[in-house]
């Protein structure tokens, strides 16, 4: 019996695969920006790091302290943003993340929200850094 058959939650095969073999996990020592976002709903926390060069996201990593859906959404968000411009990455929504996983059980949609919020927060912090740097010159 597979995990999805044993679980009361209807997880997609893609979500299970990304839970078992997550992508882009780890700390990024040369990150342009690193943020932490958490969910009081279930205690899930995600740290998201982006390396940005010339307004383009060249690398992304995450650390997750949470459930299978949190780990999978971290993998999805980091894969989706690599190679995108800041403007393109800003358009990614929680629905894009959930759709990439073949959907999420309603009780786990907060994980897609968490990933999208972490990305939004990272971009906002990056923009603030750039603005601050430009104002000091």
Report pLDDT for 113: 95
Cα–Cα distances in Å, from 119 out to 16, 47, 57, 85, 97?
22, 10, 11, 13, 11
Domain 3-130 has CATH 3.90.1010.10: yes
Rounded Cα gap, residues 34 and 125, in angstroms: 9
Task: Name the 3-class secondary structure at 81.
Answer: helix
Task: Name the 3-class secondary structure at 106.
Answer: helix
pLDDT tens string 97-126: 999 999 999 999 999 999 999 999 999 999
Rounded Cα gap, residues 50 and 74, in angstroms: 12
Cα–Cα distances in Å, from 133 out to 22, 120, 123?
35, 20, 15
Residues annotated catalytic, as ranges:
42, 111
Domain positions in the chain: 3-130
pTM, two decimals, is 0.89
Report pLDDT for 40: 63
Rounded Cα gap, residues 109 and 39, in angstroms: 11
pLDDT tens string 48-82: 999 999 999 999 999 999 899 999 999 999 999 99
């Amino acid at each position: 019996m597979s995990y999805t058959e044993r679980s009361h939650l209807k997880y997609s095969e893609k979500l299970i695969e990304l839970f078992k073999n997550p992508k882009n996990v780890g700390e990024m020592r040369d990150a342009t920006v690193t943020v932490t976002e958490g969910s009081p709903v279930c205690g899930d926390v995600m740290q998201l790091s982006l390396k940005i060069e010339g307004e383009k996201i060249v690398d992304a990593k995450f650390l997750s302290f949470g459930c299978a859906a949190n780990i999978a959404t971290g993998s999805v968000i980091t894969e989706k943003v690599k190679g995108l411009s800041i403007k393109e990455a800003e358009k990614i929504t929680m629905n894009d993340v959930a759709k990439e996983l073949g959907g999420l059980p309603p009780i786990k949609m907060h994980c897609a929200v968490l990933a999208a919020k972490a990305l939004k927060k990272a971009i906002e912090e990056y923009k603030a850094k750039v603005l601050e740097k430009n104002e000091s010159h």
